[in-house]
A and B are shown apart, each in its own frame.
Chain A
Amino acid sequence: EAQVTQNPRYLITVTGKKLTVTCSQNMNHEYMSWYRQDPGLGLRQIYYSMNVEVTDKGDVPEGYKVSRKEKRNFPLILESPSPNQTSLYFCASRPDRDPPNNEKLFFGSGTQLSVL
């Protein structure tokens, strides 16, 4: 089944303790992206990657890192989490060919992160 898999689904941590949220897709998509969603603010893009070893900042990249060493994986790293990073996080992917169908994003189920 074609899907985007995020882990973990729920995560509670403390300020300053490094964490990684994993994201994997099995559709051979070139493009992957991370979003965070907060009440009243909608979905905001954190980082995106157009292909392996190519990453770029979205609208709210501060406090986050990403890497794209292989096509299927796009982990989100919080080196020193803070309470303002408590949020619902979504990973998404899409192909980068066959426009305009390449704009059809596939989203993961989300990761609810709480930083105490």
Chain B
Amino acid sequence: DAKTTQPTSMDCAEGRAANLPCNHSTISGNEYVYWYRQIHSQGPQYIIHGLKNNETNEMASLIITEDRKSSTLILPHATLRDTAVYYCIVRVGSAGGTSYGKLTFGQGTILTVHP
């Protein structure tokens, strides 16, 4: 899996958009970008994933650059409950094989949403 780099921490005002960057300059053509978040000591929660097109769901939007070397997770109207650690992971989205079993989470970005 390609390595990812995220800022250690970020702040955002409540009601504003939170834009969380992730660099994955060694990403391969068949690797997807996945985002999870972990609210204090709870199990991580899947947010969104994408390959090369921008994606949006009820939780967030994912913008992937044209060269796919970086992406941005956007929480359009951040709330206090969005305060969490956000993890960006790059994975080959294929089934089967023990080589796909290992999944390492990095340190992630601590997002603090303040009033």
Contact status B93-A103, CB under 8 Å? yes
Q: What per-residue 1/0 map shows which CB atoms of B64-108 lie under 8 Å from chain A?
A: 000000000000000000000001000101111110111111111
Q: Please pick, from A59, A101, A102, A110, the residue contacting B42 in the complex, using a CB distance under 8 A.
A: A110
> Which residues 1-33 of A have a CB within 8 angstroms of B?
4, 31, 33
Whether B45 contacts A107 by the Cβ 8 Å rule is yes
B46, A56: Cβ atoms closer than 8 Å: no
With A103-B32, A103-B93, A107-B43 already in contact, the answer to whether A42 and B107 are too (CB < 8 A) is: yes
Q: Is A106 an interface residue (CB 8 A)?
A: yes
B-side interface size class: 20 to 34
Q: Do B106 and A42 touch (CB < 8 A)?
A: yes
Indicate if A113 sits at the interface (CB-CB under 8 A).
no
Separation of A107 and B47 alpha carbons in the complex (Å):
13
Proximity bits, B36-72, A CB within 8 Å = 1, else 0:
1000011111100101000000000000000000000
Interface of A (DSSP majority class): strand
Interface on chain B toward A: helix, strand, loop, or mixed SS?
loop
List residues of chain B with CB within 8 A of the CB of A99. 93-95
A45-67 CB contact bits vs B (8 Å, 1 = yes)? 10011100010101100000000
CB distance from B63 to the nearest CB of A (A): 18
In the complex, chain B residues whose CB is within 8 Å of the CB of A108: 43
What are 13 residue pairs bridging A and B, where the CB atoms are less than 8 Å apart in the complex? A44-B104, A45-B103, A48-B103, A50-B97, A58-B102, A96-B96, A97-B95, A98-B95, A100-B32, A102-B95, A103-B93, A104-B46, A110-B41
List 13 additional A-B contacts (Cβ < 8 Å) besides A31-B101, A43-B87: A45-B103, A45-B104, A48-B101, A96-B96, A99-B93, A99-B95, A100-B32, A100-B49, A103-B32, A103-B91, A105-B46, A110-B42, A110-B43
